[in-house]
Amino acid sequence: MKCRPNNLNFKITNSSGPNGNNTSTHSIVSKSKKPRDKWMELQGIKNWEGLLDPLDDGLRDEILRYGEFVEAAYLCFDFDTSSPDYATCRYPKGSMLSQCGLSKTGYKVTKCLYATCGVHLPRWADHRVPSWASTRSSWIGYVAVCNDRDEIARLGRRDVVIAYRGTATCMEWVENLRVALTTLSGDMAQSDRESMVQSGFLSMYTSTVGPRPSLQDSIRDEIQKILTKYGDEPLSITVTGHSLGAALATLTAHDINTTFKHAPLVTVVSFGGPRIGNKNFRSQLEKSGTKVLRIVNSDDPITKVPGFVLNEGSTKMSEIRPLKWVQKCVEETQWVYAEIGKELRLSSKDCPHLSDGGVATCHDLKTYLHLVDNFVSSNCPIRTTAKKVLNRSTQQEIKQQILC
Is 243 noted as a catalytic residue in this protein? Answer: yes
CB count within 10 Å of CB 259 equals 15
Cα 365 to chain centroid, rounded: 10
Does residue 54 have a cis peptide bond before it, meaning omega lies within 30 degrees of 0? yes
Is residue 181 within a helix (H) or strand (E), and if so which, with residue range? strand 181-183
Q: Which of 243, 270, 347, 348 is catalytic?
A: 243
Catalytic residue flag (residue 347): no
C-alpha 191/C-alpha 382 separation (Å) is 45
**What secondary structure letter does DSSP report for 93?**
G
Do 155 and 136 touch, CB atoms closer than 8 A? no
Task: Return the H-helix or E-strand segment holding 140.
Answer: strand 137-146
CA 111/CA 132 separation, integer angstroms = 24
Cα angle for residues 95, 101, 104 (degrees, 5° grid): 85
User: Which of 254, 353, 363, 370 is labelled catalytic?
Assistant: 363
363 annotated active-site = yes
If residue 337 lies in a helix (H) or strand (E), which one and from where to where?
Answer: strand 336-337
| Beta bridge pairs of residue 382 | 375
Q: Which of 61, 255, 299, 300 is catalytic?
A: 300
Catalytic residues: 243, 300, 363
